[in-house]
Amino acid sequence: MAEQNFVDYVKICCRSGAGGAGSSHFYRDKMTAMGGPDGGDGGRGGHIILKGNSNVWTLLALKYQKHVIATAGMPGTGNHCTGASGKDVILEVPLGTVARDAETGLVDFEITAHGETRILSRGGRGGQGNAHYKSASRQTPEYAQPGEPGEEIWKILELKVLADVGLVGFPNAGKSSLLAATTAAKPEIANYPFTTLTPNLGIVKYRDHQSFIMADIPGIIENAHQGKGLGLRFLRHIERNSVLLFLIPLDSEDITRDYHILLRELQMYNPELTDKPRMLAVTKCDLADEEWIALLRPEIQVDIPLCFISSVSGQGITELKDMLWKLMNL
């Protein structure tokens, strides 16, 4: 997917439809000059609805649609006829889309299943016709209820990428190279930081025709939880991954220190992220021989599964897949 087509944040103004007014009407025919009240109810205003679609991967369709407007309900008529409801507006969004109020920042809901529908902005209720207000003491009520106004509110939609395995690491740690080596995805790969500016997804083929989804998240730097680097913009994508795979290159000055910096950034952003299964892969192992790697292994003090890989030579890739599959099925 082209980077310019990946949109994971939009702010839209939602204006749901107003409810139709109830009818103040009295029954008439050629035999009845003044009958009882028979005013019908007004129709409901149109809702604005979010619908999950597993075939949609981005919020691009909403990027240039700043105002979403639903139609109003029709007024009621005589003979107890209810007005037609306003037409709902259905917005199809990717799985993992979070809706929140733009003013308060509070989360309304999250779309996680294909076909799941949630009302983003509720249409106004139709007013009751005068037939509802007839009583023993008031036989000819002339009052009918007006319809409720619709809502006009700004909403923020954020996409959190859904994947089985999320790649976590500093810029230029080899995340895109691993994704390219294990899937059919073609992320941009270059020898400079922040080559990846948008999340990339790929399907990793495993044994017995099984597979899992891997997500390449843009690199994290120290104090990313405060918004530094690409910071908060992409840390949220890690929340929706089942397993976290930390990647640190072999030529790092201190692999253990780098791992704890990455872990701390996740903890500061969302402490619940540390409850996810995780493992560490040391990348770019084609830069050293087996003896050097054997000497390095005891120096890496981490309490999670560890493996050494090279996306260039394919070293350790099969072992990595086996370890990830085991973590996903704990």
Q: Are 50 and 93 in contact (CB under 8 A)?
A: yes
Per-residue model confidence (pLDDT) at position 63: 85
Sorting pLDDT into bands at 50, 70 and 90, what band is 140?
confident
CA distance 307 to 302: 12
The answer to whether residue 78 scores a pLDDT higher than 70 is yes
106 and 192 inside one domain: no
Sorting pLDDT into bands at 50, 70 and 90, what band is 270?
confident
108 and 136 inside one domain: yes
**Tokens representing residue 105 in the block:** 């920042």
CATH number of the CATH domain containing 311: 3.40.50.300
Sorting pLDDT into bands at 50, 70 and 90, what band is 73?
very high
CA distance 279 to 264: 15
**Tokens representing residue 227 in the block:** 């918004």
The answer to whether residue 74 scores a pLDDT higher than 90 is yes
| Residue ending a domain, choose from 116, 135, 159 | 159
Q: Are 46 and 72 in contact (CB under 8 A)?
A: yes
Per-residue model confidence (pLDDT) at position 224: 43
109 and 227 inside one domain: no
Per-residue model confidence (pLDDT) at position 178: 87
pLDDT (mean) for 81-100: 93
| Residue ending a domain, choose from 159, 192, 221 | 159
192 and 323 inside one domain: yes
The answer to whether residue 87 scores a pLDDT higher than 80 is yes
Can you give the pTM of this predicted structure? 0.67
CA distance 74 to 97: 32
pLDDT tens column, 172-204:
777 888 888 887 655 444 443 444 446 777 888
Least confident among 189-198, 239-248, 271-280: 189-198
30 and 154 inside one domain: yes
| Residue ending a domain, choose from 116, 143, 159 | 159
317 and 170 inside one domain: yes
pLDDT (mean) for 152-162: 87
Nearest to 245 by CA among 136, 157, 321: 321
- The contacts of residue 68 (CB under 8 Å, 6+ apart) are 12, 13, 14, 15, 48, 89, 91, 121
**Tokens representing residue 15 in the block:** 């204006």
Sorting pLDDT into bands at 50, 70 and 90, what band is 220?
low
Burial class of residue 227 (count of CB atoms within 10 Å of its CB; 0-12, 13-18, 19+): exposed
178 and 153 inside one domain: no
Per-residue model confidence (pLDDT) at position 2: 43
What are the beta bridge partners of residue 202? 214
249 and 169 inside one domain: yes
pLDDT (mean) for 80-85: 94
For the chain, give the longest Cα–Cα distance: 106
Buried b / exposed e over 240-267, threshold 16 CB at 10 Å, is bbbbbbbbbbbebeebeebbebbbebbe
pLDDT tens column, 23-56:
999 988 888 778 889 999 999 999 999 999 988 8
Return the top range by mean pLDDT from 2-6, 70-74, 189-193: 70-74
Burial class of residue 4 (count of CB atoms within 10 Å of its CB; 0-12, 13-18, 19+): exposed
More confidently predicted of 122 and 189: 122
Per-residue model confidence (pLDDT) at position 40: 94
141 and 191 inside one domain: no
Total tally of structural domains belonging to the chain: 2
79 and 183 inside one domain: no
| DSSP reduced 3-state for 239 | helix
Domain residue limits at 67: 1-159
Adjacency order of strands within the sheet including 241-249: 200-205, 211-216, 163-169, 241-249, 278-283, 306-308
Burial class of residue 116 (count of CB atoms within 10 Å of its CB; 0-12, 13-18, 19+): middle
The answer to whether residue 247 scores a pLDDT higher than 70 is yes
Q: Virtual CA dihedral for 139, 144, 145, 147, nearest 10 degrees?
A: 150
Q: Are 266 and 238 in contact (CB under 8 A)?
A: yes
Nearest to 74 by CA among 61, 84, 65, 66: 84
153 and 18 inside one domain: yes
Of all residues in the chain, what percent carry a pLDDT higher than 70? 88
Question: Alpha helix locations (H) across 188-254?
Answer: 231-235
